[in-house]
Structures are given as structure tokens and as C-alpha cells.
Amino acid sequence: MKSKIIEEDVASLIVNNESSLKTLAGKNILITGGNGFLPSYLVDTLATFNQELQDKYKLVILNKHPVTPTSRLSHLLADPQIRFIEQDIGKPFKVPKGLDIIVHAASRANPASFLADPLDTIDANVNGTRTLLEYARDNPLDQFLFFSSAEIYGNPLSEFVPTPETYPGNVDCTVKTACYTESKRFSETLCQTFFEQFKTPSKILRILLGYGPGMRDDGRVVVDFFKKGREEGKITIRDRGESCRSFCYISDITQGILDVMFKGEDGEAYNVANDLTNIPIKGLARLIANTLNKDMPVETSPSAKKKEIYGVDARDLDISKLRALGFIPRISLEEGLLRMKAHYDQLGQYN
């Protein structure tokens, strides 16, 4: 479902990328997990721009679950240039023929989801990536984009925050969330192996904490705080709120994806984030409270034990490599939260 805010964001992305998008004319593009939060903005941008082209490109959107009238991309169900396929990439599947570009974004995306079925999380990441890379090996592509995650860095040591792409990670492969982290890491290994051995034109996107219109109520902190504020008239944080995170508005994430798509080097990994928005969780809660009602209280749990972790509980990426491609994050955290609120106000629901 498309709101006015999403339409504005998409229009801005098209203005900023018009000449690059024209190079896709006549191409066949597969986007796995296209109905998910992050890739849905890319799909919307491509579908909207496609209306202006004479030599149109074809989009194939592969999702585990069907796109229904209440889905993010429901407004595109009748688009003649888009083919929707229902397929679980964690199980054996056939890749459509004649592709020029693969954007592999399908994955369980939040802890509640990937912890609910760890083996399925691993299968979707590893088996799905391997199947698509084997297709790319046997059917040469223009490019293969893999949506990885900044979680592959684990809990970086303080001297590596902000974290560059060269940081090898500080991870524990035995914790419950390793089903996601380690399968993303191994998927990156697959991408690099196929690049080195078969020249598969893979590029890796290490995305950090995208937020914005289209986020669902699935336990992630931004929507959780919005929901608590709206329903309870206050925001309660389960701990001290001292952990620091950098949040990136969805249209900036999409711009980063397009920059890597059109300007990035094959065989390279790129951090995609906003390096200007690092904030403690209690600061995020205060911003969301102010967005909803400037008098809304924010409560922490100062008696909660500080988490004992190996490293520093911070997520902040060095995006120098992406900036070298021309990327500039445009949306501040304050503006992004206001845009998110306007989206929810229009639709009256979290999605």
C-alpha cells in the first residue's frame, strides 16, 4: 500500500537517478523478497520510472508469501511489466530464464522472525544465495546485488566504531542470533568465491538499521516505540537505553543501493547507512515521543543489568567507501520520523 510520503520519496529518487535508471531499458530484473520493507522501495522506484520508458524493463518479484491487496506492493499487482512469483528460496527452486540483473534481498529480517525458525533462516540465506549464484555462473549477468547486513560485524571493538568494510567481525557463532549473522557471513563468502572463481559480478550491501514508511509492527525498535507512544501515551524502554545505533531513512538506503548498483565495483562490499544519526536508544525514544506529543514521557529501567557483551554495544558504520561513489545521506532522523508519522497517519496502520 502506497502513501503520499512514499510517492514523494520515490519521485525524489527518480529525479536523482534518472540518467542511471535509463540504462536499465530492456533489461530483465529479478528481485527476491521484493515485497519486504527495504527492497519494496527499490521496486516502487523501478516500477514508477518504468512508466516513462518506451523500451521498458521487466521486473520479476519473487516472494515467499503471495502479494495480497494488503501487501506493501499491492498497488503493483496489475502492472503489466511486473511478474510476481510465490516461492520459498530456502527450498529447491528454479530461477526464471533470461535475467540480466539479480537483486537478492529475500531473508528473514528481524530477530523475532529469524529466531522463530533458525534453520529456515539459514536455508533462505545460504541455499537461496547458492542457487542464484549458480544461475549467475551459468547465465552471465550484468550484475548480482546481495543484501547483507551490518550484523555481520557482530559487536565491534571500540576502536573499530564507526566500522569499516575491512573489519573482520567480532562474533559468537554459538548464540541464538547466529543463525542470521553466520548465514549472512557465509552468503558473503559465497558471493566472493563465485566472483573470484567464475567472475560472477556480485556486489555486497551491508545495510544498517533502515527505517521509514512501510515498516511493520514486528518488534523492531522504531515501530515498537511509535506503537507504545500511540497506544500507551508513553514510551517505556526495557533497559537503560544506553546502546547506540545509527538509523537510516529508507529513501537514503535506496539511494545507497542505486549508487552501488550503478557505480560500485564487482567483488566489493559496501556499508549502507547514515553516519550522521548515531544516537542512544533513549535518545531515539525521546525523539519519537516528541514527534507524537512533545509532553509524552519516556521511561527507562535504570535497575536493569547492563548487558555483558564481548565488545561495545554500538552500531555505527564508516561509509567513506559509499560516499566515494557520490552517496550523501539526505534525511535527518528528525525528518525521517516525521515522515514516518505522516505515513501512519494517512494509512491508519503499521505497514
For the chain, domain boundaries: 4-212+248-275+316-331
Output 258 or 295, whichever has higher pLDDT.
258
Q: State yes or no: cis peptide before 329, omega within 30 of 0.
A: no
pLDDT value, residue 109: 78
pLDDT value, residue 351: 56
pLDDT value, residue 309: 42
For residue 186, give the C-alpha cell: 557465509
% of the chain surpassing 90 pLDDT:
81
Output 302 or 94, whichever has higher pLDDT.
94
The reported pTM is 0.94
pLDDT value, residue 39: 96
User: What are the residues whose beta carbons fall under 8 Å from the beta carbon of 84, sequence distance 6 or more?
Assistant: 61, 63, 66, 67, 77
The continuous run of DSSP H or E covering 318 comes out as: none
* pLDDT tens digit sequence for 36-94: 999 999 999 999 999 989 999 999 999 999 998 888 899 999 999 999 999 999 999 99
CATH of domain 4-212+248-275+316-331: 3.40.50.720
Look at residue 259 and tell me whether its pLDDT is greater than 80: yes
Check residue 256 and give left, alpha or beta (phi > 0: left; psi -120 to 50: alpha): alpha
8 A C-beta contact, residue 335 and residue 329: no
User: What are the residues whose beta carbons fall under 8 Å from the beta carbon of 203, sequence distance 6 or more?
Assistant: 143, 144, 145, 146, 260, 261, 264, 265, 266, 267, 268, 269, 270
**pLDDT band, very low/low/confident/very high, at 99 (cuts 50, 70, 90):** very high
**pLDDT band, very low/low/confident/very high, at 167 (cuts 50, 70, 90):** very high
Look at residue 265 and tell me whether its pLDDT is greater than 50: yes
CA 349 vs CA 109, 145, 336, 346: distances in Å: 20, 31, 17, 8
**pLDDT band, very low/low/confident/very high, at 306 (cuts 50, 70, 90):** low
* pLDDT tens digit sequence for 183-226: 999 999 999 999 999 999 999 999 999 999 988 887 789 999 99
- How much is the mean pLDDT over the chain? 92
Quote the distance between the C-alpha of residue 50 and its chain's center.
Answer: 22
User: In the predicted model, what is the mean pLDDT of residues 275-292?
Assistant: 95
**pLDDT band, very low/low/confident/very high, at 320 (cuts 50, 70, 90):** very high
**pLDDT band, very low/low/confident/very high, at 311 (cuts 50, 70, 90):** very low
Total residues belonging to the chain: 351
pLDDT value, residue 304: 54
User: In the predicted model, what is the mean pLDDT of residues 325-346?
Assistant: 95
Backbone dihedral angles phi then psi of residue 232, each to the nearest 5 degrees: -110, -10
For residue 344, give the C-alpha cell: 501512519
* pLDDT tens digit sequence for 117-159: 999 999 999 999 999 999 999 999 999 999 999 999 999 998 9
8 A C-beta contact, residue 254 and residue 41: yes
Look at residue 17 and tell me whether its pLDDT is greater than 90: yes
Quote the distance between the C-alpha of residue 24 and its chain's center.
Answer: 22
Q: Which of 23-37, 60-74, 304-318 has the highest mean pLDDT?
A: 23-37
- Can you tell me the distance from the alpha carbon of 338 to that of 351, in angstroms, rounded to the nearest whole number? 16
**pLDDT band, very low/low/confident/very high, at 174 (cuts 50, 70, 90):** very high
